[in-house]
A and B are shown apart, each in its own frame.
Chain A
Amino acid sequence: MADVRLTVNGAAREGRCESRKLLVDFLREDLGLTGTHVGCEHGICGACTVLVDGEAARSCLMLAVQADGADITTVEGLMRDGRLHPLQEAFREHHGLQCGFCTPGMLLTALDLLRVNPAPSEDEVREGISAVLCRCTGYHGIVKAVRAAAVALAPKPG
């Protein structure tokens, strides 16, 4: 067993788990953060994507012990002051989700994309979110939502 101390959504958290435990299982089972979903456990579907020290990472391809000392953001940490993040708002506005199962991974992947490229073209959005599989939406609403969020998040002139 190993101790894991990390920051999740701005709060210090700790737990004790087997060293083979996946980060996603640790988040869900030990920390009760069930917003991060498991879709394939082999790093393709992207549903389990979280931010690790600000960068998108598959929490099914990482061990909890590897995240010791890291700063993690999960979907539960996106709201601010009880309000949806502009990206979440855009997903709602543009019907960027149906069943909602891939949505947490999609949101964090899109957030990472917008951090690296704040004004992506449609093709760049499509390529950026191709790291996450969605079977409900045909991606149409998601692409619209990410592009709308890019506009909403852009620094206002003046």
Chain B
Amino acid sequence: MSERWIGKSVKRVEDFRLLTGRGTFIDDHPPVGNVHHAAIVRSRHAHARILGYDVSKALAADGVVAVITGEDVAKETKPFAVGVTTPVHYYCAATDKARFVGEPVAVVVARDRYLAEDAAELVEVAYEPLPAVIDPEKALEPDAPVLHEKAGTNLAGHRRLVYGDPDRAFREAEVVLRERFRFPKYGSTPIETYGIIARWELDGVCTVWSNFMGPFIMHPLTARVLGLAENKLRFIVPPDIGGSFGIKTSIYPYIALIALASKHAGVPVKWIEDRREHLLASSSGTDRIAYREVAAKTDGTVLGMRFKWLDNVGGYIRSPEPGCSFRPTGNFVGPYRFQHLEVDASVVMTNKSLTGPNRGYACGHLYFETEGMMDRLAEKLGLDPVELRRRNLLRPEQFPYRTPTGGYYDSGDYPATLDKAIGIARYDELRREQAKARAAGRWFGIGVALAVDPSVSNMGYVATALDPQFRAKPEYLPKSGAVDSATIKVDPLGRVTAILGTTPQGQGHQTIVAQIVADELGLTPDDVTVVDEMDTFTRVWSISSGTYSSRFGSVGTSAVALAARKLRAKLVDYAAHLMERPVADVEFRDGAVRPRAGKGPSYSVKDLAGRAHWNTESLPEGMEPGLQATAVFGFTVSKAVDAEDRVNSSNTYGFIAEVMAVEVDRQTAAIRILKYVTVHDAGTIINPMIAEGQIYGGALHGLGGALYEELKYDEDGQFLTGTFMDYLVPTASEAPAEIEIAHVVSPSPLTPLGSKGLGESSSMTVPAVIANAVSDALAPLGLRITELPMTPSSLWHLIRDAQKT
């Protein structure tokens, strides 16, 4: 038996180059000569009409080769397609008005970055400042300044989604609870910022190197904006991306802007975003105001819920928004059995920076609210929060489970996963400890949070934003799908190379693919070279390609396994021909094709490769020469949204159960995490070391958003958090020292390896679990957390006010 590699903590092949300073990140990349550098001029106003530009001084400055402004952008590009029918004209730079501080208004191209920045200061833009609005509720008031006159409203989109009969559920309820929540605007701030090199050639091909992470639907969108045929716009992504967490999805408008700058300058143009630009104008999740209602029976059975959301997408709605509201459509009900739900989702534009996917995309918001409501219900009914959840959890025999909103939960054992978390946390003991602590006057709290962890977005979910009547029109093209591809080839000496079109940002794809291929072909991971550099001219890709929505562990690994199996089948066919045996009499075992029974020669991969490449005459009649296989894996459960707004918005669904114990300091309001347990069911785990790394990283993103991070604005829309001194990223001293991690494995029946995604993981549960724990700690004061982040000062004020009353 050859060794199995799936399930082992194989050390990463990526590490050697990254540890020795030999990675290839976008700013290290010298793909072409004569590269010039861009500096972007940005709006200082939150809301202002642009009256004109004077670029003469900038053009005369040392080293400057071109300056482009919003006028060029308006003349030579189209606005980006947006995910709603409201007429919002979103160009790659401001054309008529600036709608948030930091919005690009001009680009200067010069011999080096220093000179470009010098000249950027000489660009004069005449503005007529306009009143600004940053609060999504105020933005919907009748006298609010309107950002987009053509739209006539700041409401970019609104949907009321009804599943089951929520009105009846609320009528028949024995208990109804209501709460208002506020979720902050934060982004994962990868330490590598955006970077682009664009070369617009005279032959009409534009090549763009960038750290774009997908989805590659943005490629055709960008081609259309630039007026290029899709096969004349080449996107290349270097092998190393310095983190992303969803944020680098939203680099694509800058790709259009820098491509246009290259067209004007006649030279390749490079732009590396600086940190201030990143905080000002890259991307973040939405800030959301949520009104929640839950209807229940006195035994704790939840009958239904109502969600009312105002998601703040900033100055324009930028695709893939309004995913902020609809990405979790299939898992709106989370892990619970209730059937009746109303979702009233408003997507609002204000004078803040634009939003997009951020680790946990919309799920951090969703579970912060839902799990907060579950705790309120438990308190109201005098039930333990764990017991209340148990009474509502989906049962293992219900899987695969079709949710009322159209989700298709492929596998899981939610009660067992919760039990495991409770057991590891020694929950009952924690409760006894809490009783003692409370008696001693300490603020000690325990939080629980559960989440269905969706992976591999079905591109079709975005259409939930559109009215069913609009989707029913004959000219409307339904959307669905989530695919990935892989090619595996064997060279003449029997060496195996796997080629992917994914865009890893630290997730170790090369290592994981080597493990899978090694298992499928009876090799060791060292035998397999994995090439992972996306190039739209050479890779097999589709609109859903890329590395986002926890895709790789589910769809990417599936494509690799299928390609390896396809190749293996060819090796078996070929070897059977050489052995002059029926295919049924041979099998692939321990790295070679062997007779199923009895004696006879066996053929290793190396033997077969040599023969197949050097002597094509030896191939059976009709067999295609060459030893390679390409597989494109797609999910058949990816369907377009139906007329009742039901959609299976993701393809595989994991589960997370978490318990956290905290103590809030009575003097300083500082929160200390005493215990944190997280149990995940992501199906088959391919590399436990990498899985654990994802969980630790995801948890700290959730903690950052819950306690420290917020992109803040004053009432006039001026930006307050433009440096890492103001925007507080947790350091090692703030990170939890130990997370107790465990797994339950319910293999997915939909993927060849049984794996699901895990990348977003605890980023979506930590805001909920820590808010619940802190609420529990402060219960003696009658306080419950409704807003994040819980900075020491905000919590201190909250406590002081509660103590006064």
Contact = CB atoms under 8 A, between A and B. Distances in A.
A158 to B, nearest CB: 31
A49 interface: no
Contacts of B16: 84, 92
Interface residues of A, number: 55
A138 interface: yes
B192 interface: yes
Given A92-B12, A98-B506, A122-B737, A44 B19 contact: no
Given A34-B27, A40-B275, A135-B189, A99 B19 contact: no
A18 B114 contact: yes
A142 B15 CA distance: 13
A101 B275 contact: no
Interface in A34-65: 34-42, 44-45, 47
A41 B21 contact: no
Contacts of A114: none
A21 B18 CA distance: 26
Task: Find the residue from B188, B193, B732 having the highest chain A CB count within 10 A.
Answer: B732
B11 A93 contact: yes
B211 to A, nearest CB: 10
B466 interface: no
B732 A20 contact: no
Contact of B15 (A39, A44, A92, A101): A92
A138 B192 CA distance: 16
A70 to B, nearest CB: 19
B203 to A, nearest CB: 30
Contacts of A107: 19
Interface stretch (B78-86, B258-266, B697-705): B697-705
B576 interface: no
B25 A37 contact: yes
A98 B731 contact: no
B692 A139 contact: no
B739 A95 contact: no
B19 A98 contact: no
Contacts of A134: 191, 732
Given A45-B724, A97-B18, A130-B732, A137 B697 contact: yes
B196 to A, nearest CB: 15
A102 B697 CA distance: 14
Contacts of A104: 21
Contacts of B245: 135
Interface in B1-45: 11-12, 14-23, 25, 27-28
Contacts of A67: none
Contacts of B276: 42
A13 interface: no
B287 to A, nearest CB: 20
A150 to B, nearest CB: 15
Given A38-B27, A99-B240, A92 B11 contact: yes
Contacts of A122: 737
B538 interface: no
Contact of A99 (B506, B690, B696): B506
A111 interface: no
Given A97-B15, A98-B508, A130-B731, A135 B191 contact: yes
Nearest to A76: B21
Interface residues of B, number: 56
Interface string B471-507: 0000000000000000000000000000000000111
A140 interface: yes
A126 interface: yes
Nearest to A40: B275
A21 B112 CA distance: 11
A34 B188 CA distance: 24
A95 B733 contact: no
Given A101-B243, A130-B731, A130-B732, A42 B275 contact: yes
B735 interface: yes
Contacts of A130: 731-733
Given A95-B690, A95-B692, A100-B506, A136 B21 contact: no
A140 B693 CA distance: 8
A99 B735 CA distance: 18
A84 B19 CA distance: 8
A141 B693 contact: yes
A4 interface: no
Task: Find the residue from A42, A79, A143 having the highest chain B CB count within 10 A.
Answer: A42
A44 B21 contact: no
A99 B20 contact: no
A44 B726 CA distance: 11
A75 interface: yes
Contacts of B793: none
Contact of A137 (B18, B275, B693, B723): B693
B634 interface: no
B584 interface: no
Nearest to A94: B689
A100 B240 contact: yes
B242 interface: yes
A39 B275 contact: yes
Interface in A95-136: 95, 97-104, 107, 122, 125-127, 129-131, 133-136
Contact of A95 (B12, B701, B732): B12
Interface in B220-273: 240-243, 245, 272
Contacts of B18: 97, 99-100, 103
Name the 4 nearest CB pairs between A and B, nearest first: A35-B21, A100-B18, A101-B242, A99-B506
Interface of A: 18, 20-21, 28, 33-42, 44-45, 47, 74-76, 78-79, 84, 88, 91-93, 95, 97-104, 107, 122, 125-127, 129-131, 133-143
16 contacts: A34-B28, A40-B275, A42-B275, A45-B729, A84-B20, A88-B20, A91-B15, A91-B19, A95-B12, A101-B242, A134-B732, A137-B696, A138-B693, A139-B700, A140-B696, A140-B739
